[in-house]
Every structure is written in structure tokens, then in C-alpha cells.
Amino acid sequence: MSYEYIASGLSFIWCNKFTAESQPELVRLIRDFTDRVVAAHHNHKYGVLFNAYTEKHTVEEVNSIFKGYSIQADSGGLQMMTLGHGDITDEAKDKVYRTQAKYATIGMSFDQIPVTTLSDKQGFLNAEMRYFNPAIFDECAIESGKNLHRQIDVYREEGSTCKPLLIVQGNGLDWYRRWADLVLQQIPQDKWQYIAGVSSSSFALGNGLREDVERVFSFSQLDVPDTMKKQCHLLGFGSAHRMIPVVQFKRSGLYDDSILFSYDSTKHTGGISRGQYQNEGSIAQLRRHKDKMYYDTIARMDDFFENILGFEFNEQDFFDTLISPAAVWAEKYGQSGRILERNLIRYGFLMYSVHTTMNMVKHMEKNEEYLTKVRKADSHVFMPLSKVKTLADYNHWKNHVSRHLVSKKVKTMSEHTSLHDFFE
């Protein structure tokens, strides 16, 4: 198995709370939908992610619906900070670890991010308002290593099979390598076996296509034990085109099928509320008016529901659920009316995007020319990655080819620069 699609932002999916006990038929069909989509893609698995801090009230629900699939749990550290909930205490961290231990198979760690912002805590989320700060890098990595060590200990105290990922931060390849070294120095070697793999973060690097390539390549250069080289998790990779570097590096032989590349995003779950879905090669928007584009969407969904999900598609339910205002549904059926139909339409709509994304990755693997359909404008920049197998190969591509890709790199704060200088 080569890939694992992780659906995050689960709160976007459902129109109401339910569990396997309260809605057994609904949960059975959700699991059936999931199994059918995964069965159509031999190279993909499927999992979900919840936030162990902001979505802790949904953990019972998530576990009852998706037990048996991969369930990842974010630490919620970023949300604790940006929501202004004060310092993240050891007690707060332990509480999150215990939630992860009880309900998840993979847990994200509390990583201290080596950036400085130019505004309040909300500015932390704006790439243009944060700067990579080398002066605090070592301190952040060491503290992150201590957090990861404690996370492992809590999981073991709870008798859990959940494993954490080592999240690497940095502003480039060398920084990623140093981060991993410093983190592992805080953890006894006999406990390294309890770490499932590595997750590369873009927070201190940037999230342009050029930075995507660097994140994916950097995994091959980390000095971590073999047990951690079995999984590379790519945070925020919700679009098929962002998986191009993985596909190309597999084509070159840099990576093989023994490594699981998991990727998560709220792009498709969030699309439910925005009326957007992943069509082949582009994001499509639901139409409120019953024109040709509307009926094209209906035809796609009808075919998908019938032939992939094995479920009879009802156009009126689709329109009322995803296009009409919620008040219209409530007026027709009552606030909690037709729970099964409404939630299955929403989940099936999500699975259309998941299925299409998996399909696009599969086609990219089979035929390199398919890259031109996924990223026509810059496929010529990605094509040479199929020859990159060494650090020298990568540096040649970076120095001579990469400039043609969009870069959104986080700027570095010099030790000679003050915050005041950024506003000059």
C-alpha cells in the first residue's frame, strides 16, 4: 500500500451528531461507502483525523463510526495558541495525549514552531506575517523532543497501541535534518520504536509548489531509524497535484511501495459547506440554478452513487441537502427529519472528491503524461523529478529547474533585523 487519504475537518460533514448506537443503519452505510471507494483503489487506504482539543466532544462519535480505519488525532496545540487560551500547560498536554491514546491510532505531537510573528496570535496563521527565526530553532526542537517523549510515556501508561508521528519543522532540508536530530536526542533509543513515522510541516518553510517538493524530498535525507521510515505524513496535502513530487520520486526509485505516504486536508470536507467538489483536474462548484452545469453534476453524482457506492441517488435529496438553505430542509422534513438520507448525501458528496483524488494519483503513477492534465502549466518542471534519486540530483533540479515553480517560502528573520525594520 502506497498512499493513505486522511479526511480532516470532520465537523464539516455531518448535519447532526449520531453514533453507531443511535443510527446503526446510517453508520453501516457510511462504512460501506468507505469500503467501496477504497476497494476501487488498490494503492490507497483511507482514514480520518480529529482535533483532540477543539473536537474532543466528537471523539466518541468518530470512534464509533470509523473504528477499524486509521484514526489520526491532532494535538490542537496551534488552536490553543491562536484562540488565546493561555499557555499550554503540561496538564493540558497530558489530557490531549490521553484522548489520543484512547481514540486514535496515530497522534500528532505538540511541536514548538520556530517562527516569530509580526502581529497578534491570529497572525500566526498568515504566512506573510510570520518569519522563520533561527535564534529559537534549537530551543523549539529540544522542547518538541521532550513533548514527544512524554507523549510516548502517556500512551504506554494507558496501554494504548496509538503511536505518535515526529513532526519536523524547518526552513529547508538542512533545518529539517537538524530538527530530527535534536528531537531524537531527547528520547531514549529504546523508545524510538514507538514512533510511527515522520510528518513534515510547512509552517516554517512555506506552502508553494517548490516548497512541496522540498518537503517530500527531505524525508529521504533524515537520519532517523528504519522504523520511522515506514510512514511519511504530509500535512495539508489535499489536492492531487500536490502529490506529484511523491509520484515522481517513486518513479525515480527514491521511494518504493514499502513507504506509506499519508496526506490530509480539510479541502474536500470543507467543500461540503462551500458546495465544491473535486472533479478530474479542477474544483467544481455546485450550481443553484438548474442549468447545463447543474445537470452535468447530477449525472456525475448519479453514476458515482450507483456504480461505486451501490446506493440509489435521489436528486431532490441532493438539491435540498447541498444547495437549498438549511431552513428549507427543516420546513419540509423537520429539523431532524430524514437524518439517514441527509447525512448519506453529504458523506457521498465527500467520497466523490476522495474517489476522484485517489483516481488522479493512480493515473499519475500509471502514466507520466497524465501530469499534463493535472498541472498543464508546470508539468515540464515536475517531469525531471523522475530522474532525481540523490542529493546531487535534487540540488541540480533545485538550482536549474525549480525557479519555474511557484514559491511561497517563509522569510527568515536575521539576527540583525528587528520587528520594526519589517515595517520600514
Let me know if residue 369 belongs to a domain: no
Q: How far apart are CA 351 and CA 247, in angstroms?
A: 22
| Domain-located, residue 365 | no
The answer to the question of residue 21 being in a domain is yes
Give 164-194 pLDDT, tens digit per residue: 999 999 999 999 999 999 999 999 999 999 9
Q: Is residue 366 part of a domain?
A: no
In this structure, is residue 77 part of a structural domain? yes
Strand 282-285 with 276-279, pairing: antiparallel
Let me know whether 174 and 195 are in one domain.
yes
> 132, 208, 126: which is closest to 176 by C-alpha?
132
pLDDT digits (tens, 9 = 90+) for 103-156: 999 999 898 999 988 765 555 566 677 899 999 999 999 999 999 999 999 999
Whether residues 259 and 285 share a domain: the answer is no
Same domain, 305 and 198: no
- Residue 416 confidence (pLDDT): 43
- Amino acid (one-letter) located at 132: F
Q: Are residues 264 and 281 in the same domain?
A: no
In a domain, 202, yes or no: yes
CB 262 within 8 A of CB 200: no
Give residue 155's domain range. Answer: 3-268+375-423
Co-location of 224 and 290 in the same domain? no
- Tell me the pLDDT tens digit for each residue of 318-355: 999 999 887 888 888 877 778 899 899 999 999 999 99
Please tell me whether residues 170 and 313 are part of one structural domain.
no
From CA 129, how far away is CA 289, in angstroms rounded?
40
Residues 58 and 26 in one domain: yes
Q: Is the pTM of this model over 0.75?
A: yes
Are 248 and 322 in the same domain? no
Q: Could you count the other beta carbons within 10 Å of the beta carbon of residue 57? A: 9
Q: Is residue 361 part of a domain?
A: no
Residue 215 maps to a domain: yes
Residues 256 and 311 in one domain: no
> 68 with 113, same domain?
yes
Question: What is the total count of domains within the chain?
Answer: 2
CATH number of the domain bearing residue 210: 3.20.20
Predicted confidence (pLDDT) per residue in 404-415, tens digit: 999 999 999 875
Residues 250 and 381 both lie in one domain: yes
Do 192 and 291 belong together in one domain?
Answer: no
